[in-house]
Structure 1
Amino acid sequence: MKARLVDKALAEGFASVGVCRPDAVPEIAERLKRFVAEGRHGQMGWMAERMGWRGDPSALWPSARSVVMLAEPYTPDHDPLAVLEQRDRAAVSVYAQNRDYHDIVKKRLKRVGRWLVAQEDCEIKVFVDTAPVMEKPLAQAAGLGWQGKHTNLLSRDLGNWFFLGALFTTADLEPDAPGRENCGSCTACLDICPTDAFPAPFQLDARRCISYLTIEHAGPVDAELRPLMGNRIYGCDDCLAICPWNKFAQTATEMRYAGRADLHAPRLGELARLDDAEFRAMFSGSPVKRIGRNRFVRNVAYAIGNSGDPALVPVAQGLCDDADATVADAARWAVGRLRDGRTE
């Protein structure tokens, strides 16, 4: 049955499949508790609120006997770091340059799950990054790879450009051997981080992570971190893009992950002028939509302040009286930076 399940998952478009027990990662409860106690989760209060389930997958659904972890590549066809040199352009994380992966992966997972139910007369629950499930430790336990020094999952066969989905089931499936760490002495991902968000290898302080700052953090970003954000307005791919294991990355087969031409390197000046309706229209069906216009334009204003382009001063000035106080604050900061000629 397990072999047939793997075949079905691969036929549906997944690139890698593994199985573990729900109780295969007992160490994550303490790791999560320590992460939250140190405040490294920042404003992500939901991590603290559901620590019981997040730290113990077997408690999330006690009837589950197996967890099937699946990986789906979204490998970019361009160098995500190249846009960082185009200071008047915006850098949007690769995963967010087209359709929302949550919907795509979940529909694929449900098809695999329905097939399993028909074969085994079992029950299933599927999760894609929105439930209190620690996907990365479970994926390592299921043999899909290992959590690298940047805390993301790495694979010998996939690099680190892939999404994860979890299928919990009451079916009793043979578990796989867990993945083994293969980072060796490499520190490329730690060295490239613009904000020093890694206190140590295999540890992340979300409060300094640009992905967190641009997506999860509400309100003004600390002044010391703003210059370090560069032109990254939604997420950050630096630690993923620099990983040498990406030489083994598989090509993404799902065309809806291919980056839209207008999001490869959009002009900051055009993005700054978006009102709420225009923002919603531009990012309909995109993960970017969930942060809302105000947080998005706040990020754009920080990027304008880091651009060193005096031609963008009028654009930033146009936001100085924005109805959103955080956007207005970011715009005034940008104007001051540009008038001072500061780029660092």
Structure 2
Amino acid sequence: MGKTLLLSPYKMGRSQLSHRVVLAPVVRARTYDHVPQQHVALYYSQRTSEGGFLISEATAVSETGVGGFLNFPGIWTSEQVRAWRTVVDAVHEKGGVFFCQIWHAGRSHNTSAPYGKTPISPTNKPLTPELYPGRTYNPPRRLATEEIPMVVEEYRLAARNAVEAGFDGVEIRAVSGCLIDEFLKDSVNDRTDKYGGTLENRCQLALEIVEAIASEIGPDRTGIRLSPFLLFHECSDSDPEALGVYMAQALSKYHLAYAHFIEPRIDVFGKISETPYSLGPMRKAFKGTFIVCGGYTREEGDKVIANGAADLVAYGRYFVSNPDLPKRFEVNAPLNEYDEATFYSQDPVVGYTDHPFMEPHL
């Protein structure tokens, strides 16, 4: 049995990786009161291998940014920084490389949680009530132009806090209808100032955040995740390929650690669907490490690395249910099936840290 290309080494920025299987930033909703507990450290430690690369779940840059989502982590307080340090230490003890994904929820603020602040957005257009089961939404407040630098500052401070907590870098979350994604996409962004209208203007906020974070912690500690094709929280673009290519080209000048793109074949619920689009144009436009994510199997991951379509492949659902996923890929072992009903159950064990490892003889 030949060695899979997914298990070949790769140099990403300042980090030497022993393989190319990345833990995707999967929401787990087990961080009570927005502060990581010991079971969070165990979860990430279980999925750490020597020289493996992990990206944390979405971590809010501010109280407003957490968007009312219960049990989502934050990194805006000293208590959160101290708690994350314990998690990061557990990953580093096993030789892993760990980036913190930082975000602001924008208008996707979940009002079914006890949180009283009005969500902010590039628009005042509301989301459809009960768009997804169990979630309700308040109408957002359109950010004034002069307020936007304060949002950029929140991201910069969150990146600084992440490094203080020991993270090796940060990934900027610009996917799935969060605040940055709302600015990027023309179905939501109806502004008439310098942050709206043209493609260049709609990308302005994202690039200002990238520049602020890269200046604060270094470009080789800075990554970004984008989903130009994904429709989530009623956030889509009329020309997603042009959006993706423009961002890929604009990001290249910063010499970032990586750009991380979600495949256009992934729909709102993470299922694979037919599409005429690919990430090829974005891969060609971005000069740097390129990560792809989107329902990959072991064989498909090998293929995209072999043909140069990606440098690293992020896995979410199967990394949730297989904490030793890189090892299983190495020996081509069977995978544990995942149970979507437990993805966000908020139980500190069930569906979180109770997934079995391979038997030692495999």
Q: TM-score range by the shorter chain?
A: under 0.3
| Higher-Rg member (1/2) | 1
Richer in helix (by share): 1
So what's the TM-score if we normalise by structure 2? 0.26
Instruction: Considering Cα pairs closer than 8 Å and 6+ residues apart, tell me whether 1 or 2 has the greater RCO.
Output: 1
Structure 1 length-normalised TM: 0.27
